């Protein structure tokens, strides 16, 4: 098989809840305390994957993590029954569903040793995510175990925060050709933390063996972070030779654009002006937290975006004008991921992009529609229908969450490799 881009989506876990743990994530804060619907959330995620397969795209999965994270609670000197509510909620978090934060990925065509390099994100800025990386790393080491094709790296050490592919873009003439890797970092976000540290980005570039001449480090604008763009993928997305971005995404866009054009002359920059779509509307609709993908039938590129974008008049009006022109983005594909959106994650948050030969990947992490049908049956039977924040201490709910995870992992024949 040939090298292609594969989207690995996180299956939304049975502990999906709205505890409002993510400072700077406006949707998460706005919906704190609301009733969540893990079953509906997970099935929405599967439908998005199913839609991608029908577009002709190759689809992978990552599994939910074991919750509650008892090992993490033990290190804090407590347990589920005795932990303070905010600590218990952090131990129950299902945020690993957002696979864009799982790792940073450099394709083989960009690296010095000709292997695909993945660095698991440390996510140290947010307590509820800081304990994800060991279980994420375990899955990465299984899915990408062929050391001839892959190099999987440990996280960058604290205190240098790294949030993975959500702050990383890659542009190239095509997926299989050498490209330009863009690492976006923050310095200040006003009242909100800047989550990606420039030193983490530089360390990843060194460890991946990237060519310095084709590696850019770009500062995210303070205005974007302060407006709720806690990751760069809330205000910009790239695919092959196209950068789709908001006018106010970067601190010094002119310098960035000039450097990008010098490194990749074929680049096309599609910029949405603030006069047409405000930062507030872009972030509310998650216009840029979309999957920008190349359609395999030669039909150009498609933007797989949340249905909220269709419901935001300024956003949808601008998008309709865009595709009416002769630009590289030819198709709009709205999807319903409302349960994820309510916690601050759109279609792009739910997936990690890996350019690879599918034959090199553990097949248990690749899916077709038939496998999704089987997974959907498990989700429909075992995932809780709803969770209120006060339910997180309920021993019956915890037992159901644990049994749900065990059932899915056993079905995917990974129980011998992944342990609680």
C-alpha distances in angstroms, 84 versus 67, 90, 91, 236? 16, 10, 11, 37
What is the per-residue pLDDT for 420?
81
* Residue range 80-126, pLDDT digits in tens: 999 999 999 999 999 999 999 999 999 999 999 999 999 999 999 98
Q: Which of 5, 163, 181, 240 is catalytic?
A: 163
Q: Which of 16, 131, 208, 231 is catalytic?
A: 231
pTM of the model: 0.95
d(CA 78, CA 190): 34
What is the per-residue pLDDT for 26?
60
Backbone angles phi, psi at 207, to 5 degrees: -65, -30
What is the per-residue pLDDT for 344?
77
What is the per-residue pLDDT for 134?
97
Cβ pair 307, 344 in contact under 8 A: no
Displacement of CA 105 from its chain's centroid (Å): 12
What is the per-residue pLDDT for 72?
97
The ranges of the chain with pLDDT < 70 are 1, 20, 22-29, 31-32, 189-190
What is the per-residue pLDDT for 298?
82
Q: Where are the alpha helices (DSSP H) in 325-394?
A: 338-341, 369-382
What torsion do the CA atoms of 243, 249, 253, 258 make, to the nearest 10 degrees? -20
Per-residue burial over 253-290, b = 16 or more CB atoms within 10 Å of its CB, e = otherwise: beebbebbeebbeebebbebeeeebbbebbbbbbbbbb
d(CA 118, CA 247): 30
Is 231 labeled as catalytic in the residue annotation? yes
What is the per-residue pLDDT for 25?
59
Q: By CB neighbour count within 10 A (0-12 exposed, 13-18 middle, 19+ buried), where does 395 fall? A: exposed
Is 163 labeled as catalytic in the residue annotation? yes
Structure tokens at 128: 């509820």
What is the per-residue pLDDT for 20?
64
């Amino acid at each position: 098989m040939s090298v292609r881009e594969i989207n690995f989506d996180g299956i939304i876990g049975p502990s999906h809840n709205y505890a409002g743990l993510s400072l700077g994530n406006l949707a998460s804060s706005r919906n704190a305390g609301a009733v969540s619907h893990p079953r509906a959330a997970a099935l929405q995620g599967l439908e998005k994957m199913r839609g991608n397969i029908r577009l002709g795209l190759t689809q992978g999965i990552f599994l939910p993590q074991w919750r509650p994270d008892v090992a993490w609670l033990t290190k804090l000197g407590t347990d589920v029954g005795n932990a303070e509510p905010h600590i218990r909620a952090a131990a129950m978090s299902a945020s690993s569903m957002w696979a864009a934060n799982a790792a940073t990925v450099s394709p083989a065509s960009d690296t010095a040793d000709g292997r695909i390099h993945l660095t698991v994100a440390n996510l140290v800025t947010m307590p509820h995510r800081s304990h994800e990386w060991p279980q994420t790393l375990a899955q990465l080491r299984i899915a990408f175990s062929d050391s001839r094709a892959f190099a999987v790296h440990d996280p960058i050490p604290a205190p240098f925060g790294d949030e993975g592919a959500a702050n990383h873009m890659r542009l190239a003439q095509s997926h299989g050709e050498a490209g330009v890797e863009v690492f976006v970092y923050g310095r200040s976000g006003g009242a909100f933390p800047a989550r990606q540290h420039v030193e983490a980005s530089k360390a990843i570039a060194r460890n991946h063996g990237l060519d310095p001449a084709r590696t850019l480090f770009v500062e995210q604008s303070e205005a974007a972070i302060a407006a709720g763009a806690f990751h760069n993928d809330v205000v910009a997305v790239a695919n092959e030779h196209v950068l789709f971005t908001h006018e106010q995404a970067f601190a010094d866009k002119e310098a960035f654009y000039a450097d990008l054009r010098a490194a990749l002359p074929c680049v096309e920059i599609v910029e949405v002006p603030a006069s047409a779509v405000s930062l507030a509307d872009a972030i509310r609709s998650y216009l840029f937290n979309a999957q920008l993908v190349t359609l395999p039938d030669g039909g150009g590129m498609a933007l797989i975006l949340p249905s909220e974008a269709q419901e935001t008049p300024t956003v949808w009006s601008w998008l309709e004008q865009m595709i009416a022109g002769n630009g590289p983005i030819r198709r709009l594909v709205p999807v319903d991921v409302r349960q994820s959106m309510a916690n601050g994650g759109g279609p792009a948050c739910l997936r990690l992009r890996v350019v690879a030969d599918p034959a090199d990947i553990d097949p248990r992490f690749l899916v077709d529609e038939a496998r999704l049908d089987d997974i959907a049956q498990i989700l429909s039977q075992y995932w809780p229908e709803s969770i209120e924040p006060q339910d997180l201490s309920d021993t019956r709910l915890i037992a159901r969450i644990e049994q749900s995870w065990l059932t899915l992992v056993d079905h995917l024949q990974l129980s011998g490799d992944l342990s609680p």
